[in-house]
Amino acid sequence: MATCPQGHPSGADDYCDVCGTQMAGASSASPAPAAPQPSAQPSAQPSAQPPAQGSAGAETCPICRTPRAGQFCEVCGHDYSGASGALPLPMTGTRWEAVTAADRTYYEKVIAEGGPDADAVAFPPYCPERSFGLHGEQVRIGRRSKARNLAPEIDLTGPPEDPGVSHLHAVLLAQPDGSWMLVDPGSSNGTQVNGRPLQVNVPVRIGPGDRVHLGAWTVITLREGTP
């Protein structure tokens, strides 16, 4: 029986049975390490696919392959931003109209203030309401004139005719958000909105229910409705 360098009797001649010390004369070469066993790896996750491309390199909808023209697909409504939900509802068009009439209270105020030719202006015994739709970028208010080749969209020529209204008295200007601005380009007798005089060439925003007074007795009321 061999004795290890630590003095322990050992039945093995390479390493001590008691303390594990290498026996004298044993090879110092370490045994070859066992080949590592392959560990179980989770299956690789597929990487995110790049946006679908059309034949010309333009991005196309991954659902219906329609070329992209914005955040939402024009055909199936796919949201390219990844947000849930369908296409946003389209904006509902708004129809504006201007309703003209005669306002006796305003007429009496004009007469009391002694406006030009006030004594010669009579309040009309009958003046039916008239409605004018607002369309386009601008809507002119006044009285038509063949000599000046002027035909305003809101024609107050009558009958009855308000002599205090200029041929081009005021203009309604359409705004990108669907609202309207009113401007007096320099009428003879001025324009009022809800009782407040307008400054020449200074646009003011107007909305449904606003009352525009002009001439000797004319009132224009704005209304809003869905077509």
Domain with 58, as residue range(s), is: 53-90
Of 32-41, 150-159, 176-185, 187-196, where does mean pLDDT reach its minimum? 32-41
Neighbours of 184 (CB within 10 A): 26
> Global pTM?
0.58
Half-sphere exposure at residue 126, Cβ-oriented, CA atoms within 13 angstroms: 1
Quick check: is 129 in a domain? Answer: yes
Q: Are residues 76 and 100 in the same domain?
A: no
Q: Alpha helix locations (H) across the chain?
A: 104-112
Quick check: is 1 in a domain? Answer: no
Residues 6+ apart with CB under 8 A from 29: none
Q: Are residues 188 and 215 in the same domain?
A: yes
- Strands (DSSP E) contained in 26-73 are none
Tens-place pLDDT, residues 123-155: 999 999 999 999 999 999 999 998 888 999 999
What is the predicted pLDDT for the residue at 114? 80
Q: Are residues 125 and 61 in the same domain?
A: no
Quick check: is 101 in a domain? Answer: yes
What is the predicted pLDDT for the residue at 74? 61
What is the predicted pLDDT for the residue at 176? 92
Is residue 193 pLDDT above 70, yes or no?
A: yes
Q: Are residues 216 and 150 in the same domain?
A: yes
What is the predicted pLDDT for the residue at 69? 77
Mean residue pLDDT of the chain comes to 78
% of the chain exceeding 90 in pLDDT: 46
What is the predicted pLDDT for the residue at 63? 61
Of 40-44, 83-87, 207-211, where does mean pLDDT reach its minimum? 83-87
Q: Which residues of 99-121 are buried (b: 16+ CB within 10 A; e: fewer)?
A: ebebbeebbeebbeeebeeeeeb
